[in-house]
Structure 1
Amino acid sequence: MATLNTFTPWALAVALTLGGACGGAQAAYVDVLDLPAKASALVVHSALRDVALAGERLVAVGPRGHIVYSDNQGQDWHQASVPVSADLNALVFPTALEGWAVGNDGVILHSRDGGANWAVQLDGRQIGALVAAHYQALAKAHPEDAQWAQFVAEGQRLEQEGADKPLLGVWFADARHGYAVGVFNLILRTDDGGSTWVPMQDRTDNPQGFHLNAIRAVGDALYLVGEQGLLLKWDAGQQRFVALPSPYPGTWFGVFGKPGEVLAYGLRGHVARSLDGGQSWAKVDTGVTQSITAASLDSHGDYWLFSQGGQVLRSRDGGLSFAVQPQVPPAPVAGALQTGANATVLVGERGVRVLPAR
């Protein structure tokens, strides 16, 4: 695992051009689920999609199985050992050592050492059979309930279609209990650290099978957001994700906040704020029309939003209003976090950026 060096934009462009020109046209096809991620000195300057803290370590994931980590607040980066080259979309570390990453082809990866080395726990070649078997058992146990046949058929369809089942979000309460979510209402739960995964498509108020884009806890509440205005919240009494009223019919990309205050953000600059656990929402005027694709909360309690177009917005009043930070050079953002020192770490199509504390 070599330390990654810094390249000028010109050198990076030349390297990418030469790399594409030298690709072997006769190379035999290898499934991305069987092909380890390639080591590259350019990876930290390439597209990345999410970033998280593993204790004090920064870890970021992106396309082609790329995972990088930094132990000095983003000054130097190392590439992790990853057994797949599938595109990775999201990650979470409930502890400093235990972490999970999810991505395309239904892949779920697990790390026990803070993100330096990863192993496959599940992939899309197994998910269809897993879903079908789970609901076949329920159908057999409850033959009077017609709903199970629909879920069995869905599992069989997933099995026939193969591995292409993108997972888009992941969340763990601790090192044992967590969820992975993705396209067409795909949701899996584990209570044993990922040794086994249980389908939960029957536990969501999502009859049209909209994509589940993100899952996140705010205070003691767990939220799911997705396309076409989908907002869901875990109801412990009903043991399901129940629908919440949505103030916007378009796509939500994420949710964040603090106890007593939750914000959802999404397409075309839309942000909504709730003070009652999602039972009612007020629209927030962000002043931007670019999609909000990432968010973070700093140690002062200030909210930060980041757009697809690269705008950085900050709220000092609990999400009532946001102001664009004009001194930040724009670049598309896919993931963001605040470090303990309140530096802002951004990842996107141009790799990693670290903005100093403000």
Structure 2
Amino acid sequence: MMLLGNRLRVLMAALTLVWVHGAYAAGTVEPAMTVAHAQASPLVAVAKAGTRVVAVGDHGVVVMSDDGEHWRQANTVPVDSLLTALTFVDDQQGWAVGQAGVILHTTDGGEHWTLQQRLDEQPGLLSLWFENERHGIVVGAYGYAAQTQDGGQSWQRLQVGEDGDDYHLNHLFASSDGTLFIAAEMGNAYRSTDHGATWQALDTGATGSLWSGLGLRDGQVLLAGMTGRVLLGDPAGDNWQTLDSGTEEAITALTQLADGRVALVGNGGMTAISDAALTRFTVKVREDRVNLAALAPLNDGQIILVGSAGVMPQ
């Protein structure tokens, strides 16, 4: 379970429970509680719904902000379990996933959520990608992958890797030309050039787990993960070079800023921003050294950080 502790230690217990078929998997689904200062709850992922920022985390907490400063909790979330990832196809319609195969859907920019599916095998879901309002893919623990062609009403299993592979599939993302990539456990990564129907394993040269990835605007691809590893790949993902990230902390998420630079976050309060050429990263460490899970750029050039202490300033 090294993967769990390095992604976000504060959530390790919750993830471990579901992945060893804990009590939640066998129990009933309860709605998320309304809590004071929900933006200070442990948060795991953040996404943009138009100009709105929406973040999800433990106990079904979903918070949102239209200006990056004032936050409120979603009106309706039908689960009180850990939510791990979310995505929007426009400013209104989005999906979120989490433990025990939970898939949530919103049609109003995150204000209200419905329980669209609870997948039969109740996998721990870690990431998702939607091409449009109909076609999407979810991935998760122990090699789980599935796709929908009807907006999430039904799901069909996908094969990623060889038969018997059970690597955790940590992050699914698209490059600028639509090629799909998965950052996975133990240095594994996968590519699909047919919208996720089939997948090919990539030789990244890495051994430690890869936590996140990013398609750059110029077509190149980044993978990042354990011990500060950042890999830069060509558009096809056939050739990879290791970049000097300036840190040995586990990197949990990265994003490209409006000016082309890349920002990343990780454990121990680590933040870093590259130069335009990706030749150097300037690293800063927060005084509180709180674990950071995700980030999102705002329109004013600021960056929203989320992690074990909730929403945090840059």
TM-score of the pair, normalised by structure 1: 0.76
Cα distance in 2 for residues equivalent to 1:42 and 1:308: 23
- What is the alpha-carbon root mean square deviation over aligned residues? 2.1
What is aligned with 1:54? 49
Structure 1 residue 318: deviation in Å?
3.5
Cα distance in 2 for residues equivalent to 1:30 and 1:41: 27
Structure 1 residue 207: deviation in Å?
4.1
**Structure with bigger gyration radius:** 1
Q: Residue 314 and residue 218 in structure 1: after superposition, are their counterparts in 2 closer, same or farther (change >3 A)?
A: same
Structure 1 residue 183: deviation in Å?
0.8
What is aligned with 1:158? none
Cα distance in 1 for residues equivalent to 2:79 and 2:195: 39
What is aligned with 2:8? none
More helix by share: 1
Q: Which runs of 5+ in 2 are unaligned?
A: 1-23
Q: 1:337 aligns with which of 284, 296, 301?
A: 296
Cα distance in 2 for residues equivalent to 1:251 and 1:301: 26
SS of the residue 1:309 aligns to? helix
Q: Which amino acid aligns with 2:139?
A: V
Q: Which amino acid aligns with 2:65?
A: S
In the alignment, does 2:172 pair up with 1:215? yes
Cα distance in 1 for residues equivalent to 2:96 and 2:277: 30
Report matched runs for 1:122-141 at 5 Å: 122-124=117-119, 127-128=120-121
Deviation readout 1:222-280 (Å, 9 max, x if unpaired) = 10111011110103299411111112111000110313211100011111111242101
Q: 1:45 aligns with which of 40, 43, 60?
A: 40
Q: Which amino acid aligns with 1:245?
A: D
Q: 1:229 aligns with which of 187, 190, 205?
A: 187
Q: Which amino acid aligns with 1:52?
A: A
Q: Greater RCO between the two (CA within 8 Å, min separation 6)?
A: 2
Structure 1 residue 42: deviation in Å?
3.1
What is aligned with 1:275? 234
In the alignment, does 2:162 pair up with 1:167? no
Q: Residue 174 and residue 50 in structure 1: after superposition, are their counterparts in 2 closer, same or farther (change >3 A)?
A: same
SS of the residue 2:132 aligns to? coil
Q: Which runs of 5+ in 1 are unaligned?
A: 1-28, 129-162
What is aligned with 2:113? 118
SS of the residue 1:240 aligns to? coil
SS of the residue 1:334 aligns to? strand
Aligned length: 289
What is aligned with 2:150? 192
| 8 Å CA contact retained: 1:68, 1:80 | no
Q: Residue 212 and residue 250 in structure 1: after superposition, are their counterparts in 2 closer, same or farther (change >3 A)?
A: same
Structure 1 residue 76: deviation in Å?
3.0
Deviation readout 1:57-93 (Å, 9 max, x if unpaired) = 1100001111111122232323341011111000001
In the alignment, does 2:37 pair up with 1:78? no
Cα distance in 2 for residues equivalent to 1:80 and 1:171: 24
Q: Residue 30 and residue 123 in structure 1: after superposition, are their counterparts in 2 closer, same or farther (change >3 A)?
A: closer
Structure 1 residue 328: deviation in Å?
7.9
Q: Which amino acid aligns with 1:214?
A: H
Q: Which amino acid aligns with 2:294?
A: G
| 8 Å CA contact retained: 1:92, 1:101 | yes
More strand by share: 2
Cα distance in 2 for residues equivalent to 1:57 and 1:238: 28
Q: Which amino acid aligns with 1:249?
A: T
Structure 1 residue 325: deviation in Å?
3.6
Deviation readout 1:124-178 (Å, 9 max, x if unpaired) = 4xx23xxxxxxxxxxxxxxxxxxxxxxxxxxxxxxxxxx4x21000111111111
What is aligned with 1:176? 134
Cα distance in 2 for residues equivalent to 1:229 and 1:279: 14
Cα distance in 2 for residues equivalent to 1:297 and 1:238: 24
In the alignment, does 2:209 pair up with 1:251? yes
| 8 Å CA contact retained: 1:346, 1:354 | yes
Q: Which amino acid aligns with 1:313?
A: A
Q: Which amino acid aligns with 1:208?
A: D
Deviation readout 1:89-117 (Å, 9 max, x if unpaired) = 00001111010000001100000100011
